[in-house]
Each structure stands twice: as structure tokens, then as C-alpha cells.
Structure 1
Amino acid sequence: MSAARQPSPTVRDDAAPAPAAAKKPRTPRARRAAPPHGVRPAPVLGSEERARLLEGRHHDPHAVLGARTQRGGVAFRVLRPYAKAVTVIAKGLRAELHDDGDGLFSGLLPLTAVPDYRLLVAYDSDEIEVHDPYRFLPALGDLDLHLIGEGRHEQLWTALGAQPMEHQGVAGTRFTVWAPNAQGVRVTGDFSYWDSVAYPMRSLGASGVWELFLPGVGAGTLYKYDITRPDGSHTVRADPMARSAEVPPANASVVTASEYEWQDTEWMARRGARAPHQAPFSVYELHLASWRPGLSYRQLAEQLPAYVKELGFTHVEMMPVAEHPFGGSWGYQVTGFYAPTSRMGTPDDFRFLVDSLHRAGIGVIVDWVPAHFPRDEWALAEFDGRALYEHQDPRRAAHPDWGTLEFDYGRKEVRNFLVANAVYWCEEFHVDGLRVDAVASMLYLDYSRAEGEWTPNEHGGRENLDAVAFLQEMNATVYRRCPGVVTIAEESTAWNGVTRPTDGGGLGFGLKWNMGWMHDTLRYMSKESVHRKYHHHDMTFGMIYAFSENYVLPISHDEVVHGKRSLVSKMPGGDWWQQRAAHRAYLGFMWAHPGKQLLFMGQEFAQGSEWSESYGPDWWLLDSSYAAAGDHRGVRDLVRDLNRTYTAAPALWERDTVPEGFAWVEADAAEDNVFAFLRYAQDGSQLLAVSNFSPVVRHGYRIGVPEEVPLWREVLNTDMEAYGGSGVHHRQALRPEPVPAQGRPASLRMTLPPLATIWLRP
């Protein structure tokens, strides 16, 4: 507004705006122009304070900007780069401020108290009316700051990040970020045309948290933080606590607020009724972005639940869904730990997918990656100019295998960031399990490090005690806060007590991937049948330690990439029939073996090629126009029947983790490539599993059984013609004969199909 049209600070609110030509030109830097008529000069900022403010080094911009009473009236000071004029407006008040240069405007008005005012900011082509961000009190409470300082804020996402809210009666967004080493922090975004000067944040003391409430900013806004490092240089960073992000390769954070209404109340109420290690637990692992390439979360919700339910899996396990810049990392190099990847939709769209799976009766496990993070310069690495999320010791910070950085588990704020993140996925997205990636790399200080590249712990050992304490805290917190959730460790060593409760000194996981069983049995299966007798122990060795932990038997994505070949292609020889038969027999053995099951997508229909995230499973193999489609559909039908029979047989899952649930019948028939064992439920009901990993039919084969069972009926046979087999099976129930076998007084005289597993029940 021109001075000629504003004779005093009490001109009516409804005065007409001045034409653009009448607007006052910008005053050169450091030159103080004559004040508008009726507005006295405000106290001049000292040169050092002015420089700190303009350079983003000011720790308390609210002490300089905004309005405050002082001798002679109320002083106003506003920082609006590129503005031509700034006018204070309130009831009965309209006063143009003096242009101090460099985007600073100020004035002293003859008022007795700070009014409920707004700012009218004029630019070259328009003017906008806004609330002044610097008239608001901190929007973060003392309790939040106390918990952050203690490293015990279990819902950290409610305190840090961008939170749309109403504050002092005004709608806007509270921005909070932890950056204790910063000289100053400013928030920038599309609301400021990515110019960060106008919005410096205030430090909230020893907590290391910086805060600013921006009125008028809401969901959908893009933002980042401009951080002034200790050396005075600047870095612009995405929000570590962002709940949403731009679609990569763009990397700005996005203000978001959930409006989703869950429909899974019944599921959530009953999911914890039975402990996972005593329940049917059959997992279909998938990479969401490539399961059906191009589908959104909501489109996946239309197809995935029906497919998984038809196959009979109890759970899906999603490879990491947290935001990551490089799709080729499959999600294992996370930059946005609190943001579901925006490649397939919004956070509420992801909630819809989880909800849809729950309503289909399917549990949801997500891969969680607290072992490391990438070095992208806009993300967590040296976030505020110094090592912050990573360890201070460069030898401890650098992950030797993946070119990434390891978290500093001994720093309470970092531990809080991760523990709260685990809780976040369970509470905000209703996930039923967290599969924790690369636990072994966290537990050992010398993991993938040569002598001299690591330092022992305080006791002289190789254990990372900080990581142990973190994992224990994470598990204890998740189980306490989120009933029915299971945590699963991908841990490849013999660490004692991975699934032992924390109060007994264990890590506190619910389940552990049995990597040893997987490697051993796949080694056996990769041998020609005539050579398998020399590797017979690979199939039996797992039972020596089967009850030391609560195990999952994983045929995961890691086993079908990088030259390892798909599961069916691991089977020896060039005979396609034998490869598929061995594939089916192995699945039958796996589903009957103690431990829960996990199978990666594509293996359920014997995909021949390795998985690639660029195109996903070879669904065309199931197309009726493909000559061998029946073979692949047969394997898929077998997986369906394995799951259905498994779920209906408590003997296969009720006592998975105790010796009383298992007994070998035949463990030494190396020459025959035959294995047989019994499984027991708590009520004494039984299931007999017999596998013949030889391509010949074995007639009249004796298998010892309990003599008190009068009849045995075949309930599953991987050699059935419907599955692509030869059709050798027992049409009639089998009656035990009083002929001793394998140390038992009675036995069944059986015909064992070639390369097949059969299940029998009394």
C-alpha cells in the first residue's frame, strides 16, 4: 500500500488496494528508507543478528520476528524476501511496515497490546493475506520434548515431522525436526517457491529439536529442511520423519494426514488369540511393485487378497514398502522410514491394501530395515553436518557389504527413531508382523570386517551390545503396545536366544528364519538323485537344532536371484518332468517339516526363470495358450492343497517348536533317498510324511507306524496327475501289518511314487 493512501495506522480495513504502479519500490540492502506515515521506526537489528537471521544461523527467530510490546507501542518485524510491501491488518488497523531491505520489514505502532493481526504481503503481480508464523507459541509440548530427550517417545511420529493441526485457533502445519548440531534450520517448500530464507525455525533447547508452525499450510504440501551446518555451509534435506514423499527420483517430503477409516476391527480383535508359533503360519512373500507391475495399492487390493486366499496362505510378507530412491534395491536401502513408497499411491492407499487383506483373512508382514541406510546427500547421512544417525566412528558407521551406513544404536535418539518406527508400522498401518532384515550384520562388530577394521566391545568381545539392547527394546515395545503382532528375525548365525523372551536374556523375536535348513536342503536337492545319498545328512541335520528357536523355513527372494536360479531350476538334470516332480516333492517335505513356511512369488507355479524386479513373475506360464501351462497350474494347485491340508492338520503346526511334536520314522535310508517322520498335535492326532527323492517307484516299501492306529489314509500326494505327476498313489486306506520296521512293531507296506512326498493321516 502506498504511503499516500495510508495516513495513519487506524485507516479502515476495507480501503481499496493500490494499483501496482503505486507500490513502493524495494529499498536497497542496508539502507533504511523513510517510514510510512504514522508508523514509527522499530528498533534496528544489530548487524550480527541480522546476518544470523538472513543466513539461517539464528536459533530463536521468534525473538526477532513477529510482534511484541515494548516502550512506545508494539513492534512488528517480518521477513518476506521478494515482497514489495508488507502491511499489518487487524480490526480497525491497517499499517504498512517500513522496508528495511533484504526482505525485512518493520515498524512500531502506537498500540497497548499485540492485536490479533494478519499480514498483507504485496509482490510484483499480486498480494496475499496470511497469518504471521512468528506470532505463535511452540506447538510441541513439554512432555513430548522430555520424552524425546529421554529417547523414550514411543509415538515419535506424533511429535516430529510435519503435522497438520489447528494451533491457537488457526489451521496449519507444525514442522519439527531433530538436528542438534545445526547452527540453524529453515523449512522450505512449494509454499515458498523453494526459497528458504523466509521461514527460519526456532531451537527448542537441549532436545536438539527445531520447530515452526506455518499457518495455512496443509496436506499435499511439498517441503524440505535447509540446515546450516556447524561450518556455516548449507544442506537441504528431506524430513527423516516424513509420512509421505514424492515419487522417486524426486525426493521432497509431503505433508500428509490420514483420513482412512479402517474396516478390520474383527481381524484386529482376534489376531492375537493364538501365539504364531502355535498356529498355522504359511507365508507368501512378494515384491509389491513387481507382483503385477504397474498396479497401484488400490489395484493390488482388487487382485492380491483373492489370489493369496485361493492359494490358502495365512500371511503375505511384503518386501520393504518404506520409501527408497533406487527401485533396484528392492526397498532395502531406505530413505523414508516413516513413508510407504509413493510409487503405488498414498499412505491411505496402502492402508486400504492392508485392510483388504485383513478382510480376506490374510495377515500382513512387512520387511523392516533397521540395519543400515544409504548415503544420499539429501537424506540421513551426516544429516545436520555431522554424524547423527550413523555411528561417530567411521569404522562403525560404514557397512562393508552394501556401501551404506549403519545406525548408531547406542545413541538414545537414534534408538528411539527406530523403535518408534517399528511401532508406527504396527499402529498406523495395522501390520501384523515385522520381518527384520540383516540382523546378523547388526549383532556382530566384526561382521564382514577383517582384523584391524573393528574394535571389541567393553568386555573384549565381538558382540555389538548397543544393537542387542536396541533389538530387545524394539521387540519388548512392539509386543507390549501391539497385541497380536509377531517379529521375525532374518538371522543367519548361531546366536543364542534370538526367539527367547527379553526377560530371559534373549533378543525377544517371535520367529527366526532358518537359513541353515534352507541352505542344507537346497544343497541336497541340487544333486542328481544317484549322488544324494552322499548328502543325506543335509536333509536330517536341521532336526538337531530344530527346537532351539521358533523357526520359519524360508524359500525367499534371496534364493531366486543373482544367478542362484529359481527353485525348480535348482533341481538337477535337463528332464523337465523330473525337475517339476522334485520341486513338488520338496514343497511337500517343507510343508510337513517342523517350522513355518515361506515361499516367494513365482515359485508357487514353478517359474523357471530367476525373479527380476523389472518384470516380476512369469504369469504367462499359466496362460492356457501356452503349451505347458497345465504343468505350471498343477504346481500351483499343489501349493493350494498343501496349504489347505496343512491348515486343517494341527499336527503340522501346533507343536512346531517342541520335540514332542516330531518323531523320525526313517532318517537313515540314504541309499533309497527316502525320509519319513511323524508329526503330533497336542491332542495326540498324527500325520505321517514320507518323501522319496529318487526318480524310481519303490514298491512294497516298509514304513513303521504306531500299532494303535488301525488305518491310514493318504491325504496328499505330490505325484497326483492333477499336479502334473505320474499318478502313483494309494486309492484305499492302508492297514498296518504286524511286521516290525524302523524300530516300530507295525508297519505300512507302501508304494512310494517317484520324486514325491505323500502325507497320511489315521
Structure 2
Amino acid sequence: MAKRLTEIDPWLAPYEGHMIRRRSLLNDTVDVIENRYGTLKNFADRHLFYGLHKTNDQWVFREWAPSASAIYLVGAFSGWQPQQEFKLQKSSGGNWEIALPESIFKHGDYYKLWIEWDGTGGMRLPAYATRVVQDPETLLFSAQVWQPEPFIWTDQNFRVADEPVLIYEAHTGMAQEEPMVGSYIEFADKILPRIKAAGYNTLQLMAVQEHPYYGSFGYHVSNFFAPSGRFGTPEDLKFLINSAHNLGISVIMDIVHSHSVRNEEEGLSRFDGSYDQYFHSGDRGNHPAWDSRCFDYGKEEVQRFLLSNCRYWIEEFHFDGFRFDGVTSMLYTHHGLEKAFTSYDDYFDGSLDDDAVLYLTLANKLIHEIHPKAISVAEEMSGLPGITAAPNDDGLGFDYRLSMGVPDFWIKLIKEKADEEWQVGTLFHELTQHRPEEKVISYAESHDQALVGDKTIIFRLADKEMYDHMAIDHKSLVIDRAIALHKMIRLLTLSTAYGGYLNFMGNEFGHPEWIDFPREGNNWSYHYARRQWSLFDNEKLKFRWLGMFDKAMIGLARKHSLNGIPEIYLKMDNETDQVLAFERGSLLFVFNFNPSVSYTDYGIPVYPGKFRNILSADNPVYGGFDRVNENTVHFSQPVPLNKSHHQVKLYIPARTAFVLERQKVRSVYDV
């Protein structure tokens, strides 16, 4: 039976009042929803009511705009001017509606809204528009009538894989090697097979929701129900997801409910003339760091808008869940900016937004009611208690929290500490710490670190040497170190994660270039907004080594369901020698971070048994130096002076790692 948070973590006892309030607010809200609407799913049906819909032999369009004084549909049919015959009628609750003959619209037509308020007005895109297209010449966006032939899904037998969740994070537009904006179809044809071959079982798609500025990475959303038209049609996106499912790959999307773009003609800001229709009024409605608008999660229509958005992407596009962006910013009135969470008081000091907590909890309830195997990940850095606990146990209901401190830890370590100063006990502590009730998705480096102005792990380790010494016949001590540590860092991050692991596309093989989207400063070039897959494909380059090691590492995690095993047993953290060893399931992981000293007959405490090497970062196939005999079977032996304890004695070369598997013992003579 599940336990409430205060039972799992006694340190939360002084804050029981907060837990009770959280529980009461959820229960009361669910009761109201079920009494009024029957189910939470029915509550999240706004996309089926608002927007443009074809009903029998007519078109019906509805919009919510309580502060508007008049609304007109405009398009080629009206000369792009407001005309009386296309004026919507206002009804109760701030709703507007118009019914038009079937002949008014045909598939592919463009349209917008002209909204008036307080003696003025402006062009707007419908809040629930499902297809938005940018004119390549004027750069203006328009909604588009979209009534194609129904997409034929062939993924009926697909099931989301059990743990571990091994996520390949990707951006459709910059996934191609050619300097261009890639498409959904090209991604399905060229990139999905690579993800499958690399062993990842989950694709996380960035930049799905339409956004005016390409270089925002998709995080400044304007049209929440519209797949970005830069990459193709909605059916093209469905083709991508259907293709992924047929390859056995789950697909989740970066969903942005933490804020909205400030743009008014394309987005929701000042949609009906008021600044607080969807957002908080005053300064609270403006995000101080992101130049964007902050949703008011306490408003019922905002809740229904965002919940409907979750339902829409799952039902219409078969997404298998979401990575919720900016959860920390949602949770606190200070958005987590310049805030160090050093004690429990910091979570419950009055800055927590109860409405945001409620919305996220409702979102997770809805997601899992619609798709019980859905994957829900919170990008959350504060470590708020209950993020991944069930709603009935005072939690917010996420399946995983993104362990955002891990990549920051690695970059800080590489930047500030010499290799000889790396403390293996600190490494183990930082990579295994999480709240008792939560599962996490760990990652060694984020997409942010691949952007211009920052550096990936491989770039920090190798720097300019990458440009001249990545051919396999080029010798370089700098590259040797970079390759060795790149493998060790990623293996340690993966093997200590409880829940899952994430990689940003190209980082698995040490992609050498930063990401720089087209802008005036680079003469609108796509040269850096792409991925150079040929570097991995070329067997004469060392990038191949890194990619092949990543594939072996991911394969090991899948075969042994590694990240679903909660127990991890530390066996050795010798700070002087810089040797770290731990057991997880049947696997023994051994790391020697010492840059120069190898150890012979090094004893690692274990339970009695025999062990066989199943993965070595020192294998020449992965750019190693072949110092580990992978064919040797290692038998444990009693520790001198303490025969009740066993150890396995190993040769552990400098700056390398390997994994031993405990072998099944048939009889006492096998040990």
C-alpha cells in the first residue's frame, strides 16, 4: 500500500498542514469537476468545442474572448477585412460563435480573427488553431483550414516499454546533416533508424508546438494546439510517431505550459484586449527572465485550455507522454530564480503557487487516465517533495523528475577541478541522491550546453584538438583523455540513475560543433543548426568509438533493466586511489578515475561468487588500450584475517571503467 509523503519522509511532519491543504484542494476540485462534467476527461474537452469544426454541411467556429467587443473571421473570403456577414455572435461566459456554409472554406484556406476592444482592434490567430503556417515572404503567421483525408495508423500493437526509460532527445529541424530545416518525414526516414540502432527506446521531440522564433528551441510557444509547420503537416508528424511506434520506440514531447510567448498577433498575449485573459495581471503576468507571459493556473478556462492540450496531443497524435518544461518556474511565484533550496522551509515559505501545483496534479491524473502507460517527466530543479508521488499520496503525479543538477555538476567539476582532485565519493553521492519517493531521469549533459556560449563535455575536455586529431591514426594525449573521460562520465551517469537516462542527439558520439540557429549575427546560416552524422559513420574517425560505446552501454542497461532496480550498493570509494565500485542487480561497476596509476590485484568487496567482464571502456573497439582481459573469469576469495568477507581481486587500469556480471553458480565447486 502506498504511503503519504509524511510517512515516507518524517522530516516533512512539520509541514503536514501544507500536505493537507494540497490534498483538500485536489479533492475538492476533482469533486466539482466530476459533479459538473462527469469526468476529468470531459473537463478537458475545450479543443472539441472551440476553434473551427465542420459539422454536417456547415462550419462552426467558436472562441473564448470575454473582453472583446466584436470578433470577425477574416480571410480571402472577406478580402482580409472584417465584414458583417462573418461577425461572431457573443453568448454567455465570454463565448463567441458563428456558423457558416460549407462553401465558405475549403481545405488549405488561410484565415485569422479580427478582434475589437475598447475602440481598437487587431489581428489574432485562434487560440485553438490546429494548423498554423508562416508566410515565407511576409513572415506573418495564419491559421489554415485543415481537413485532409484521415491518417491511417498502424501502431495498434505498440506498447510503451517498461523501465529503463532511455530517452533520445531530438529537434526535428536540426536533425539533418544538410544545412537546412529538416522535416518530420526526413526525421522518420533518416533519424529514427539511427535511434533504433543506438538502442534508445524513447524519443523526446523538442519544438513540436508552433513558435514564432525558430532559435527559441521551441520554448516560446504561440499556438499550443498546432504542430510546428516548419517541419511539415500534422499528418507528417503522425507519420513520424507511427513510424517510431512500429520500430518499438515511444515518443514523448516537450510540452510548454510554463509560459507563453509575448507576441500578440500570433500568440495568446492580450488576445481579447485584456492582459489577464489567460495570464496573471500586473507584473506577475510577465516572466522576469524569459520575456514571456505567465499563465494564471487558478482560472478554470486556463485549466481547461491546458488540460485539453494534454488530451489533444495524446489522442490526436498518439504521443506517449510529455516532458513538462519549466516546472520549477511554474511552482513558485519567484520562478526559482536566484533561489537556493537548502532546507524544507524554502519549499513552504509562502512562495509555492498552489494553483500551479493543482494544475500539474490534474494534468498527470488526466494523462494517466487517458494513457495508463504514459511517461510524464518534470523538468524541476528545486526537488519539491512529492513531484513523483501519486496524487492520492499528496504528490503531483509525475513518473520522473529530470535530474537537472547532474549535468551542472559534471560541467562544474570539469571546469574547476584537475583530474587528480576528482573525489569518487562525491561523484557517487551527487549521482545517486534523490528523494525517497522519486524516480529520476539522469543525463550527463543537456542541450543547453551544446549551444553557442557554452560547451559540451567533449568540447570542454578536448577543445581545439577535436579539429585536428580525431582521425584514428592521429596521436593525441588530449584526445585520449577526452575520449576516456567521456565514456566514464556517461557510464557512471547511466549506471547510477534510478528511473532512466537521457541523451541529446549527437552527444553520444561527441558531436564537435555547437548549435547556432540562423540569425543576423551568423548571416542567417544553418551551418551550425544541424547534426553531422557522417562523423559517426566514418570508421576512420574516433567519433565512431564513442558512438559504439554508447550503444553498448545502452544495450547493457536495457538487457539488465538496470535503471528500474532501486537498490545500489556502494562497495568501494577510495578517495586516495580514485577507485569507485558499486553493485546493482547482478552487475559490478568498477571505475578508476586516477589519470596515471593502474592497480594490480585490487580488492573489491563482494558477496561470494564468480564474475565475468561484459563491458570495458578500455576495449579498442571503443578507443581503449586493451589493458583489460575481458575473457578472464574472476572468482571471489576470502579476505585475509576475515574469512567471512569476500573480495574479487582485479587489475584496474588508469582512467577506465568496466562492468562485471555475477555468474549463476551451479554448485559449491563453481565458487
In the superposition, the TM-score normalised over structure 1's length comes to 0.73
Report what 2:487 is aligned to: 584
* Equivalent position to 1:154, from 25, 44, 56: 44
After TM superposition, the structure 1 stretch with the greater mean CA deviation from structure 2, 472-481 or 536-545, is: 536-545
Are the aligned partners of 1:400 and 1:448 in contact in 2 as well (CA < 8 Å)? Answer: no
Going from structure 1 to structure 2, the CA distance change for 1:530 and 1:154 (only over 3 Å counts) comes to closer
Percent identical across equivalent pairs?
Answer: 26
Report what 2:572 is aligned to: 666
3-state SS of paired residue (1:252): strand
Report what 1:645 is aligned to: 556
After TM superposition, the structure 1 stretch with the greater mean CA deviation from structure 2, 189-198 or 209-218, is: 209-218
Are the aligned partners of 2:424 and 2:579 in contact in 1 as well (CA < 8 Å)? Answer: no
* Equivalent position to 1:745, from 641, 645, 653: 645
- The one-character-per-residue Cα deviations of 1:99-130 (angstroms, maximum 9, x if unpaired) are xxxxxxxxxxxxxxxxxxxxxxxxxxxxxxxx
Going from structure 1 to structure 2, the CA distance change for 1:376 and 1:336 (only over 3 Å counts) comes to same
Going from structure 1 to structure 2, the CA distance change for 1:543 and 1:294 (only over 3 Å counts) comes to closer
User: Residues of 1 paired with 2:367 and 2:572: CA distance?
Assistant: 42
Going from structure 1 to structure 2, the CA distance change for 1:151 and 1:585 (only over 3 Å counts) comes to closer
* Equivalent position to 2:157, from 262, 266, 270: 266
Shift of 1:320: 2.4
Going from structure 1 to structure 2, the CA distance change for 1:558 and 1:539 (only over 3 Å counts) comes to farther
3-state SS of paired residue (2:147): coil
Report what 2:588 is aligned to: 688
Report what 2:368 is aligned to: 479
User: Residues of 2 paired with 1:743 and 1:592: CA distance?
Assistant: 30
Residue correspondences, number: 584
Shift of 1:559: 2.6
Going from structure 1 to structure 2, the CA distance change for 1:385 and 1:147 (only over 3 Å counts) comes to farther
- The one-character-per-residue Cα deviations of 1:44-83 (angstroms, maximum 9, x if unpaired) are xxxxxxxxxxxxxxxxxxxxxxxxxxxxxxxxxxxxxxxx
- The one-character-per-residue Cα deviations of 1:435-472 (angstroms, maximum 9, x if unpaired) are 00010011111226699xxxxx9x97111111111111
* Equivalent position to 2:254, from 342, 350, 367: 367
User: Residues of 1 paired with 2:217 and 2:296: CA distance?
Assistant: 24
User: 1 or 2 for the larger relative contact order (CA 8 Å, sep ≥6)?
Assistant: 2
The one-letter amino acid paired with 2:289 is D
* Equivalent position to 1:760, from 647, 660, 663: 660
User: Residues of 1 paired with 2:640 and 2:249: CA distance?
Assistant: 44
Report what 1:424 is aligned to: 312
Shift of 1:568: 1.0
- The one-character-per-residue Cα deviations of 1:501-523 (angstroms, maximum 9, x if unpaired) are 11111111011011223322443
* Equivalent position to 1:617, from 531, 542, 550: 531
Is residue 182 from structure 1 mapped to residue 68 from structure 2 by the alignment? yes
Are the aligned partners of 1:320 and 1:369 in contact in 2 as well (CA < 8 Å)? Answer: no
Report what 2:611 is aligned to: 712
Going from structure 1 to structure 2, the CA distance change for 1:648 and 1:743 (only over 3 Å counts) comes to farther
Q: Which has the larger radius of gyration?
A: 1
Structure 1 stretches of 5 or more lacking a match? 1-142, 452-456, 681-685
The one-letter amino acid paired with 2:98 is E
Shift of 1:177: 0.9
- The one-character-per-residue Cα deviations of 1:2-25 (angstroms, maximum 9, x if unpaired) are xxxxxxxxxxxxxxxxxxxxxxxx
After TM superposition, the structure 1 stretch with the greater mean CA deviation from structure 2, 198-207 or 485-494, is: 198-207
Shift of 1:729: 1.4
- The one-character-per-residue Cα deviations of 1:8-43 (angstroms, maximum 9, x if unpaired) are xxxxxxxxxxxxxxxxxxxxxxxxxxxxxxxxxxxx
User: Residues of 2 paired with 1:677 and 1:759: CA distance?
Assistant: 10
Shift of 1:676: 0.8
- The one-character-per-residue Cα deviations of 1:696-742 (angstroms, maximum 9, x if unpaired) are 35232534343332x21110111210111111212311111222699
* Equivalent position to 2:387, from 498, 505, 509: 498
Going from structure 1 to structure 2, the CA distance change for 1:716 and 1:744 (only over 3 Å counts) comes to farther
Are the aligned partners of 1:524 and 1:535 in contact in 2 as well (CA < 8 Å)? Answer: no
User: Residues of 2 paired with 1:742 and 1:399: CA distance?
Assistant: 62
Is residue 635 from structure 1 mapped to residue 546 from structure 2 by the alignment? yes
The one-letter amino acid paired with 2:492 is F
- Match runs of 1:299-448 below 5 Å: 299-378=186-265, 379-447=267-335
- Match runs of 1:202-281 below 5 Å: 202-216=89-103, 217-229=105-117, 231-247=118-134, 249-257=139-147, 259-267=150-158, 270-271=159-160, 274=162, 279-281=163-165
Structure whose residues are more often helix by fraction? 2
The one-letter amino acid paired with 1:579 is A
User: Residues of 1 paired with 2:391 and 2:195: CA distance?
Assistant: 34
Are the aligned partners of 1:351 and 1:429 in contact in 2 as well (CA < 8 Å)? Answer: yes
Shift of 1:343: 0.7
Shift of 1:526: 4.2
Going from structure 1 to structure 2, the CA distance change for 1:487 and 1:631 (only over 3 Å counts) comes to same
The one-letter amino acid paired with 1:178 is W
User: Residues of 1 paired with 2:658 and 2:434: CA distance?
Assistant: 25
User: Residues of 1 paired with 2:293 and 2:406: CA distance?
Assistant: 30
* Equivalent position to 2:583, from 673, 678, 693: 678
In the superposition, the TM-score normalised over structure 2's length comes to 0.82
User: Residues of 1 paired with 2:199 and 2:642: CA distance?
Assistant: 34
User: Residues of 2 paired with 1:742 and 1:380: CA distance?
Assistant: 71
Shift of 1:321: 0.7
User: Residues of 2 paired with 1:155 and 1:522: CA distance?
Assistant: 44
Are the aligned partners of 1:697 and 1:753 in contact in 2 as well (CA < 8 Å)? Answer: yes
RMSD of aligned C-alpha atoms? 2.6
User: Residues of 1 paired with 2:601 and 2:45: CA distance?
Assistant: 61
